[in-house]
Amino acid sequence: MKDLDYHVPQQRTISTQGMGPVSSELDARRQNAVARALSPGLPGYVVAADGGVLVDADGNSFIDFASGIAVTSVGASNQRVAAAVAEAAAQFTHTCFMISPYESYIAVCEKLAELTPGDHAKKSALFNSGAEAVENAVKVARSYTGKNAVAVFDRAYHGRTNLTLAMTAKNKPYKTLFGPFASDVYRVPSSYPLHDGLTGPEAAERTIKVLEQEIGAENLACVVIEPIQGEGGFVVPAEGYLPALVEWCRKNNVVFVADEVQAGFCRSGEWFSVDHEGVVPDVVATAKGIAGGMPLSAVTGRADIMDAPIPGALGGTYGGNPVACAAALAAIEEMETHDLAGRAREMETIIRRHLEPLLELDVVREVRGHGAMIAVELVDGEITGAVAAACKAAGVLILTCGLDGNVIRLLPALTIPENLLVEGLEIMAEAINTQAKERA
């Protein structure tokens, strides 16, 4: 795998045990001033980041397998993105597209029409966060179909606003004591081959039965699905599941919405994770990797669906901010120039080479995923937490996921140099081996 250009040294160096003195002082200020609901899981306060590393205020340099939860795919201080941001900000930071429009917003929508699956006419609307994109996808689907109900899936994660919390599955920590939630949201079974043992068509039949018996196609505006589940455990549905679901949606005037917020923009080794099965959604929600860390999200869909809401019905003060749009155009250019989807596929080969031998251990259930979105499912949350803690102490930042907290998910930048990727994987494999021995 070819290394790219980096301006922060790409090395792991841990010189303090836990937080160093500068980070500790910052942490004391955080505890005093920041609501306790926001409690960072990582050991240090960041002062620099690029490629595969995060550097903290005490000079520790961590291998970063989190990318700010799948956001900094092109690197956290990508020079093309940084230059585009500086140039756009120097021209104007904001006008509000709904009041005084500008070109970069249109250019992002044109790019989304080009890159998202399908060669039909498409239109987009831009927002700030993934949750906002998902909410607006639902608004568009309701407006188009004249129906209300929304179907979501077991283990789904769609965000933290009121509607998207209704759509999100996991209670703690996301939903607890925050209700009542939006109505007309129904959870249906999905496909989880490791646990349900069903083929794609069998799992789709089970899902469709629930859609028909418990909701009714005549009430259903849209099905919203993460084609590869993120927070829910990096679950990849069995082959044939998504195509069968799309077919049912098409026959029943139900809008098929792909939530590509986490899996989109080259993360899975394709531009979008639905591309693995050639699925063409009616509407795609994107965010995270789209803009190199600047807040931007989008809803892109069939032009007739996107044009259903009346003029003025979609928008928001900041959605499609010009600085964020400039960042998105630069980030997408980086993905194209360096074929980051191809690089993600190369990363998958390296990751699998290091992690699949762990399947021999009793504590490891599965290694799954696509591209640079690979997970290891372990037998329980306790051992997963211990592995994550051991990695952190050794200077490798990894995230866990899954309803039981028993899945380690890897989300390195798509620009990470090979030697750091390998070093991080070796540390992680050693941590899993150590925990397995302690269990034996």
Binding site for ligand PLP (CB under 6 A): 69, 129-131, 134, 157-159, 226, 230-231, 259, 261-262, 287
Going across the sheet that includes 53-56, the strands are 46-50, 53-56, 61-64, 396-397
**Residue 14 or 323 having the CB closest to ligand PLP:** 323
What residue type is assigned to position 306 of the chain? Answer: M
Cα–Cα distance, 320 to 128 (Å, whole number): 7
Q: How far is the CB of 113 from ligand PLP (least distance, A)?
A: 21
Q: How far apart are CA 24 and CA 17, in angstroms?
A: 11
Which residue lies nearer to ligand PLP by CB, 131 or 215? 131
- Cα 41 to Cα 182: distance, rounded to the nearest angstrom: 30
Which of 105, 234 has the CB closer to ligand PLP? 234
**Residue where the block lists tokens 């990096």:** 234
Structure tokens at 7: 């301006």
What stretches of 123-277 show up as alpha helix (H) in DSSP?
Answer: 130-145, 162-167, 193-196, 200-210, 241-251
HSE at residue 3, side-chain half, CA atoms within 13 A, is 14
* CA-atom Rg of the chain in angstroms: 21
For the chain, report the end-to-end CA distance as a whole number of angstroms.
Answer: 37
Residue given tokens 């599941």 in the structure block: 241
Cβ 234 to ligand PLP shortest distance, Å: 11
Provide, rounded to whole angstroms, the least separation between the CB of residue 409 and ligand PLP: 11
- Minimum CB separation of residue 288 from ligand PLP in Å reads 6
- Measured from the CB atom, is 287 or 341 closer to ligand PLP? 287
Could you tell me the smallest distance in angstroms from the CB atom of residue 392 to ligand PLP?
Answer: 20
Other beta carbons within 10 Å of 246: 22
Q: In whole angstroms, how close is the CB of 219 to ligand PLP at the nearest point?
A: 24
State the residue number with the nearest CB to ligand PLP. Answer: 130
| Residue number, 174 or 186, with CB nearest to ligand PLP | 174
- Judged by beta carbon, residue 8 or residue 266, the one nearer ligand PLP is 266
Q: In terms of Cα–Cα distance, which of 76, 172, 78, 68 is closest to 397?
A: 68
Give the residue with the Cβ less far from ligand PLP, 79 or 161. 161
Q: Which two tokens stand for residue 292?
A: 């190199």
Q: Please state the length of the chain.
A: 440
Minimum gap (Å) between residue 158 Cβ and ligand PLP: 5
Cβ distance to ligand PLP smaller for residue 293 or 322: 293
Measured between alpha carbons, how far is 381 from 402 in angstroms, rounded to an integer? 9
DSSP conformation class of 357: G
Q: What is the nearest approach in angstroms of ligand PLP to the Cβ of residue 116?
A: 16
Give the residue with the Cβ less far from ligand PLP, 70 or 238.
70
The Cα 92–Cα 192 span in angstroms is 47
| Per-residue H/E/C for 60-125 | CEEEECCHHHHCCCCCCCCHHHHHHHHHHHHHCCCCCCCCCCCHHHHHHHHHHHHHCCCCCCEEEE
Neighbours of 212 (CB within 10 A): 13
The torsion defined by the Cα of 148, 124, 297 and 165, in degrees rounded to 10, comes to 0
| Minimal distance, residue 411 CB to ligand PLP, in Å | 10
In the complex with ligand PLP, which residue's Cβ is closer, 69 or 210? 69
To ligand PLP, the closest distance from the beta carbon of 117 in angstroms equals 17
Beta carbon of residue 230, minimum distance to ligand PLP (angstroms, whole number): 4
Q: Which is nearer to ligand PLP, 157 or 248 (CB)?
A: 157
